[in-house]
Structure 1
C-alpha cells in the first residue's frame, strides 16, 4: 500500500517460487523487496535464482524481515542482498528508504 502512495507499481507474490517465475515475465524491474521468510522457498533461495539471470544482476534486491537483527542483516549482506529493511516498516521512513534505494544508495536498517 505504501508503495502505491508513492506512485510505484508493485506486485505482491507469496512465495519465492512465484517471485522468480513472475520476474522472468517482466521486461524490466527497478527493485525487488524480498521477504526472507517466504513459504516453499525462502528469500535466500529466490535471490540465488534471480541473480542467476543476467537480466536481473543489476536490480537491487532488498531483504525484508520481521526477524530484524544485526545477525540477520549480516547474513543478508553475505548472501548478496543489496539492502535490508526490518519489519514493521515505518510509514514515515519507508518512502525515503525507497527513494534512496532507487537512487543507488545502499540502505541497511533493521530498526
Structure 2
C-alpha cells in the first residue's frame, strides 16, 4: 500500500530533499517535498494520506519548531508523526526537538539506517 508509505520532506535545501528522496524511493517510500514550513503545512492540508513528516528544524521563515507547533494546534495534523532532521547536534538539541513534538530525531549527515528504523516504527 504505497499511500501508507507517503513521506513529506520539509527542508529549505533542495540538495537535502534530492538526497533523501533518492534514498527513500529506493526503499519503497513515496516522497513529497516542500521547501519551507508554510508550504509543508499547505501540503499536509491538501494530501490527507501523508504518513510521516521529515522536518528540517532550521529554515528561514517558518522553521520546524513553528511548523510543528501549528501542526499540534490542528486536530487533523497533530496525529501525524514528525521526525526532526537537523544539522544541530549540540547538547540539548535532540531534547528540544522531542519536546517540541517530534517523535524522533536524526542529525545531518543522515544515517540512513537510523532514519529507516524510525520510519518503519511510525509508518
Gaps of 5+ in 2: 1-21
CA distance in 2, matches of 1:75, 1:92: 23
The corresponding residue for 1:105 is: none
Task: State which of 107, 111, 120 in structure 2 corresponds to 1:86.
Answer: 107
SS of structure 1 residue aligned to 2:95: helix
The corresponding residue for 1:65 is: 86
The corresponding residue for 1:106 is: none
TM-score by length of 1: 0.82
CA distance in 2, matches of 1:55, 1:5: 29
Q: Name the structure with the higher strand share.
A: 2
Q: Give the deviation of 1:6 after TM superposition.
A: 1.2
Contact 1:31/1:60, CA 8 A, preserved across alignment: yes
Q: Give the deviation of 1:98 after TM superposition.
A: 1.9
Which consecutive aligned stretches of 4+ in structure 1 deviate over 6 angstroms post-superposition?
none
The alignment covers a number of residue pairs equal to 102
**Matching of residue 36 in structure 1 with residue 57 in structure 2:** yes
Task: State which of 55, 64, 77 in structure 1 corresponds to 2:76.
Answer: 55
TM-score by length of 2: 0.75
CA distance in 2, matches of 1:45, 1:72: 15
CA distance in 1, matches of 2:122, 2:90: 20
CA distance in 2, matches of 1:92, 1:82: 17
CA distance in 1, matches of 2:99, 2:118: 21
The alignment's C-alpha RMSD in Å is 1.5
The corresponding residue for 2:42 is: 21
